[in-house]
Amino acid sequence: MSHRNSHERMHSDAAYQAEVKNYENGVRYLQKQNFEKAKESFEKVLEGPAGEITDRARVYLRVCEQRLERQRTTPRSAQEFYVLAVAQLNARELEAAFENLQKANQLEPERGHIRYAMAAVHALQGNTDAALDHLKAAIEIEPRNRIQARRDEDFHSLAEDSRFKRLISAESFASSGTTS
């Protein structure tokens, strides 16, 4: 039995030492802001024998997960800024939407869908001239934006503006012989 007890204690000590090493590695990665590696190390701590460092590892693990989530939700590409802006536009968070659309436009200038959304934000804010400028650019880049703008409630405030009517009318097509 004494041989078994010493073997268990050695095994237990080895497991504890591994737990401490993983914890220390996790703290080092956390300090370097390598949250993915830190998370992996803290998860290994939780797999080991329950000890005094398990609770601290659990707290640090939550910090890593929060930081990683924040990194995933921070837009980096024009498309990510655009998607975030559209969600904000739909929630009528117009200032935030416009800021993200500007960032998207800086990353990928002259994209029709971005300029269209910028026009919608301006229209909802009552900035008629800016809305019309962006809508005109959006239609020049992508002519089908003209059709979409006709049905888009975001442009309701522009409905009676003659410049808006000209932008969305079929007569703007060179090939169309229709008049209004």
Report pLDDT digits (tens) over 120-150: 999 999 999 999 999 999 999 999 999 999 9
Distance separating alpha carbons of residues 57 and 23, to the nearest angstrom: 7
Computed over every residue of the chain, the mean pLDDT equals 84
Instruction: Quote the distance between the C-alpha of residue 41 and its chain's center.
Output: 27
Instruction: Quote the distance between the C-alpha of residue 86 and its chain's center.
Output: 11
Report pLDDT digits (tens) over 104-116: 999 998 899 999 9
Q: Using 50, 70 and 90 to split pLDDT, how confident is the model at 10? A: low
Report pLDDT digits (tens) over 76-87: 899 989 998 998
> What pLDDT score was predicted for residue 61?
84
Residue 170 DSSP class: G
User: Residue 59: in which H helix or E strand, if any?
Assistant: helix 52-73
Listed as own residue / partner, the contacts of 63-66 with beta carbons closer than 8 Å and 24 or more positions apart are 63/30, 64/30, 64/35, 64/36, 64/38, 64/39, 65/39
